[in-house]
Every structure is written in structure tokens, then in C-alpha cells.
A and B are shown apart, each in its own frame.
Chain A
Amino acid sequence: MSETFNVNLDEYKYGFSVPENYAFKARKGLDEDIVREISWMKKEPEWMTAYRLRGYRHFMERPMPRWGGRGMLGGIDFSDIYYYIKPTDAEKAFESWDDVPEDIKNTFDRLGIPEAEQKFLSGVGAQYESEVIYHSIIEDLEKKGVLFLDMDAGLREYPDLVKEYFTTVIPPEDNKFAALNTAVWSGGSFIYVPPGVHIDLPLQAYFRINAQNMGQFERTLIIVDEGAYVHYVEGCTAPTYSTNSLHSAVVEIIVKEGARCRYSTIQNWSHNVYNLVTKRAQAYRNATMEWVDGNLGSKLTMKYPAVWLMEEGAHGEVLSIAFAGKNQVQDAGGKMVHAAPNTSSVITSKSISKGGGRTTYRGLVKVAPNAENSKSNVVCDALILDEESASDTFPYIEIENQNVSIGHEASVSKVSEEQLFYLMSRGIPEDQAANMIVSGFIEPIVKELPMEYALEMNRLIEMEMEGSVG
């Protein structure tokens, strides 16, 4: 086995697919008609159709980013993608797994979602292709006024609330892929946590692509009202195909005064998925926003979760883990924009590359002229497992106020011969020893995850590490 050396695609545990049996599949490619058709099928209000068209036009005009993709972005053929697939003819997400069509339910069973839901979650959303097919929240939270719906249902049932916040954090013209998402978005989560409500167990959304050449464009909007708390977790996987798929999500979060939001991602797309995601939060007075961002899968990921610190006392954190194996590029990091005095931020990034994989830390710390006494600290560590692999660091810093404290540390290391030898001299085989060193390296971030996800993260890293040495 170890001769196959790298993460080869066969080792990806979630690479299975099931036969296509869809209620509706738009033709391949993108034009204005498809955008209008999606909006029409969803019976959306006109203002949403207008946003979609704005997004579409900007997407068409905006050139491809020239940075970040290491030349891989050119490999996306936008005319060879299905932009909308409706898996069932149901009008809305099912609230019981028993009602979910058999093949789809089996897929989520294999991914362990219903089991996790029973054990340690407050609510679950499960998206298959373009639509959320299952959604539920524990009754207790519903009574407290917590809204946890798929985004389409959110728009149908709470149009005013959606209209108030939609695109206020990430405008349609923000970047090429946010524009694309605005044009063709479907699914995603809509969450509202009323003032003072503390949700103890996480809410989870799981995103699954099944079809070949699929584009998945979920849109998530989270509003955490004053003094409230929520932890939202997302996971994602796809089958392994020889052709490419595209995942381009937009996540907007508003964290109001004294509230706290934690958003954890374990991204484990198959290695044929372009993962180009825009995530941004606005944190108001004394609010805290935390992104825990684990990127293991995909062909190319470009993702920089951002926090805009809008009012005094706001705090932002990004904990980022990236793992790049053979033919993978993980271009990840975080952005902190200090737009008010006495705001603070921390970015901690750990990346691992092996088998020719490339990791990049790309981050921005921006301090506005009025942001007196702001503090920011950035630490990025890269671990490189072999000679073929590499890592880069691009820490952008824009400071317009002199009275601030900004720290930046970066390190690049290799798994040392001494560490391997030490563990091996205690009877631990080389591959297991390398695993231990890697899991020790990411431990500071993994320990921030809920137990179940920490175990999952360690297990995934172990799988990626298989055959990495020798």
C-alpha cells in the first residue's frame, strides 16, 4: 500500500456516488435565462431576481483573479457545469429522514449525519446538489424563537428579515465568485438567534454533491442578535470524478452587540472540486466572531474567512488548518478589518503539505484611521512533509492608525528526523510516528473543535497521511 505513496483518489472514503434520479436538471452552462429560470422555479420575489441578475452581470464582466490559484483557475470551464439540480420534486425540505428518498437518505446515512444529529446536535440541515432535502431543529429552540431553515425556506417564510440583511455583508459585486453565487445561489442555511438565547449544542449543515460536473452554490445568512450565542458547523464531501466540479458558497454573518458566533468548517471535498468561497462576518459592540476553518479536500481552495470589527470591543478570530496532498492547492487564511477603536483580532494558521501539495497562507489585517488601541496577532506555521511539497506566506498588513499593536509570526518546518527517530525508538512504526507529529502540530486548533469533530479531523488527517512516508 505504501508504494502508492500519496493520497490517491481511491483512498478518499466519501468518493462514492449514486445514480442520478432528479426532479429537474438545468442544461449545462450559464446565461441570463438560467438565472431567471432558477428564480422563477423558486417563486422568488422580484427583488431577489434583481440581485441575481446583478450578480450574473458582474460575474460575466469581472476578470478571473490573477492570484491565488497557481494557474489552476483557468481549468474551470464555466460552460461545462450544471448550475442547478433539484434532486426531488418536494416543495420544501423534509423534516423526517423517513420521508427522504431512499438513495439520498442512504448517502447521508453513510456520511453519518442522522447518527450525529441524535447524539450531539441541536439541528441539522442536509443539502444534496442544489437543494436542502432535510432540515430539523430541536423543539426547545424553536420555542425560544430560534430560526434554523434552509435559505430558500428563509426567503419564503421571512422575506423581510432576509431582505434586511441579504448582501449587506458581501455585496453582489464583491468578487467574481461571490457574484456567481448571488446569480445562481440555492440552498444554504438561514439562522436567526433571538437576543440572549444561548444554543448549547451546535447546529450543523452538511453539503453533498453527487452529480458529475456539478456546481453547488449555497448561500448562508446568520444573524446572532444581542447577547446570543450559536455554534454552526458545516461539513462537505463529493464523489470522486475525473471531471471537475465547482463549489462556490457565500456566507454572511451579523453578530450583534455582546453576541458570539462560532462557525466551524470541515471541508473534505473530493480532489476534483474547485472550492472558491467567500465568508465574512460583521461583529458589533463587544461581539465575538470565530471562524474555525479546516480545509482538507478539494483540488483548489481559495477561502479567507473575514471579520469586520464594526464597533468598539469587537473581537475576531480565525483558526485555520489546511492540508494539501498531491495535486492539491490550499490557498487559505483570514482577514481582519478593524473599523472601530479597541477592537482585537487573532489569526492562527497551520498548514501541512505533502506529496507535492501546496499550501499558502494569505491573510489581511487592516486597521482603519479611527481604530485606536486595536490589537491584532497573526501566527502562521507551515509543516512540510517532503521535498516535493511547498508552502508560501502572504501576510498583507494595512495600518492607518499609529496607536495599535500588531504582531505577526510565521514559521516553516519539516517533520524532523530526530522526532521520527525518537518515536520509532519507542516501537512506534514510521507512518504512525509521522501521523503523531502531524496531529501534534495541529492540536492547538483541533482542541478548539467539539470532541466529535476533533476526532473526525484527526481521523481525516490520518487518512490523508496514509502512505506518506517510506
Chain B
Amino acid sequence: MTSSLLIKDLQVSVDNKLILKGLNLEVKQGEIHAIMGPNGSGKSTMAYALAGHPKYEVEGGEVWMDGINLLELAPDERAKMGLFLAFQYPTAIPGISMANFLRTAVNAVKSDSSNGNGKKGIPIVQFRKILNEKMDLLKIDKSFARRYLNEGFSGGEKKRAEILQLALLEPKFAILDETDSGLDIDALKVVSEGVNALVGPDRGFIVITHYQRILNYIKPHFVHVMYDGQVVESGGPELATRLEVTGYDELVKEKAK
């Protein structure tokens, strides 16, 4: 059965300021949705609120996946449900190796406490093999696994590390929060190829971006424009192309009429 991620009338505030003002969106597995919009329109707020960041206060609305309102779950439980957020600014955690972190995360997300062997998790040899495959896919050097999580990573390395996590955790729905920001064209290509390799009928994507550029590599089925905490326009890929020409101002003015 195909799952969907259904966002209904989501209202979210940060530091007592209402940012999302009734956001509606439905993403089905197998679909790629691009979310575009000017700075401050609430794109990243949506991403953080969906993942459950404690600073993002939900004032109203629901987010349904597989019959469960995600907003009632802690961030780790949302991840276990199959939601993934690729951060725009991943946090560094000194002293924790990438390999250790990735294995812990994979075991946490994929362990099924009902089958009895959930505690043991994936055998280390098997994990190594999968990790190596995914790192090859993303053209990540093997030494990466021994480095501390995001510590001293360049912008491109951080983004690749996020996509590596996506590849290993195999979520049902992935949100990419401005994954293209800070990437040069070569890095963008590698990252996009990595993402494209993960596109499939079992996975839905929300690709948040300020620019149309990444959409040349990751082809969306739907494009939505956010403005002032709401989706103000939805369409097909052509909407992104149109925006590239007219800019957000034009569209917003049009809407205001």
C-alpha cells in the first residue's frame, strides 16, 4: 500500500512568532515535490516542524502518515516511522565517528523490538559492506567513516554526509532542506545523482530550495510556492521554470490582486 504524508492546516510558531499559517500539502510515496519560495516564507520552519524540533511550537494542524499523527511523536519516533530530514546546517558532534553514528542510527530506525533481535541490530560486517557501497555511490572517501560526525566537514562534505544517511536509513519520506545551498556545480551534481539513485516508488521527497538550479538535476513531479507561511501556488515542473524568469515578487503581486 502506498503511504502518503498529509499536512493539514499546519500552524507553527518560533519564539512566539507565527511562521506557518495553515500549510496544506500531500506527498505520496514515489512523488517528488519541490517547495520554493523567498527567504522567510517558512520553508525551513516546515522542515524542522515536521521533524519535531523542540523550538518549533505547533499551534495547530495535523501531519498524518500511516494513520498516525506525527505531531504527537518525539523526533526519534518520527524517524522510526520513516521520516527523514536532510539538514541545511548539520550539527557537529565531536568524538563520535561517522561509522559509529551511522550504525547506531540504522539500528535505531530499522530495529523492530517485536522480532526479538532488535537489540543486536545489523551485524558489523554486513553494515560495513552496505556503508562502503553507499559511500562509493556518493563518491565519499573511505576515511570519512572514521571522522567525527560533521566536525570540520566542508559544506559539500556535510551535504554528502546527509545524503549518505538518507541512503542508509531508507525512509518513506525525505525532506531535503536547501541541500543545494553552498554547493558548487560539481558537488551539486554528485549530491543530485546520489538523490536520484534513491528515488523510487517507495519513497516520497520534499525538496526545499530557494533556486531552481537543483531542479535541473532532481526532476520534481510537483512544484509549490510558499509565501508568508502558506502554499500560494502549486503546479508542475513548468512552475519552477516560470519562477526562474519572473521571480517570486511577480508571482506574489499576482496573487495579491
Interface residues of A (CB under 8 A from B): 416-419, 421-430, 432-433, 436-437, 439-444
Contact = CB atoms under 8 A, between A and B. Distances in A.
B53 A421 contact: yes
B108 A440 contact: no
A425 B104 contact: no
A422 B109 contact: no
Contacts of B104: 428, 432, 436
Residue of B54, B76, B90, B109 ringed by the most chain A CB atoms within 10 A: B76
Nearest to A436: B96
- Closest 7 pairs between A and B when the two form their complex, measured CB to CB: A440-B95, A443-B95, A427-B79, A427-B109, A427-B108, A426-B105, A424-B75
A440 B169 contact: no
B169 A426 contact: yes
In this complex, which of A416, A424, A432, A437 has the most chain B Cβ atoms within 10 angstroms of its Cβ? A424
Contacts of B79: 424-427
Given A425-B79, A426-B109, 11 more contacts: A421-B53, A422-B93, A425-B75, A425-B78, A426-B165, A427-B109, A427-B169, A428-B76, A428-B108, A429-B76, A430-B76
B64 interface: no
A433 B149 CA distance: 13
Judged by DSSP, the binding face of B is mixed
A424 B96 CA distance: 15
A439 B51 CA distance: 25
A425 B169 CA distance: 11
B87 interface: yes
B55 interface: yes
13 contacts: A421-B52, A421-B91, A422-B87, A425-B52, A426-B105, A427-B169, A428-B104, A428-B105, A429-B108, A437-B96, A439-B96, A440-B96, A442-B95
B76 A441 contact: no
Q: Which of A430, A432, A436 has the largest number of chain B CB atoms within 10 A?
A: A436
Nearest to A437: B93
B91 A418 contact: yes
A425 B55 contact: no
A447 to B, nearest CB: 9
Given A417-B54, A440-B148, A427 B80 contact: yes
Contacts of B74: 424, 429-430
Interface in B42-92: 51-55, 74-76, 78-80, 84-85, 87, 90-91
A416 B91 contact: yes
Contacts of A433: 76
A416 B53 CA distance: 12
Given A425-B75, A429-B76, A436 B93 contact: yes
Given A421-B53, A436-B101, A426 B95 contact: no
B183 to A, nearest CB: 20
B40 interface: no
Nearest to B171: A427
Contact of A419 (B93, B105, B108): B93
Given A416-B91, A418-B91, A421-B54, A426 B108 contact: yes
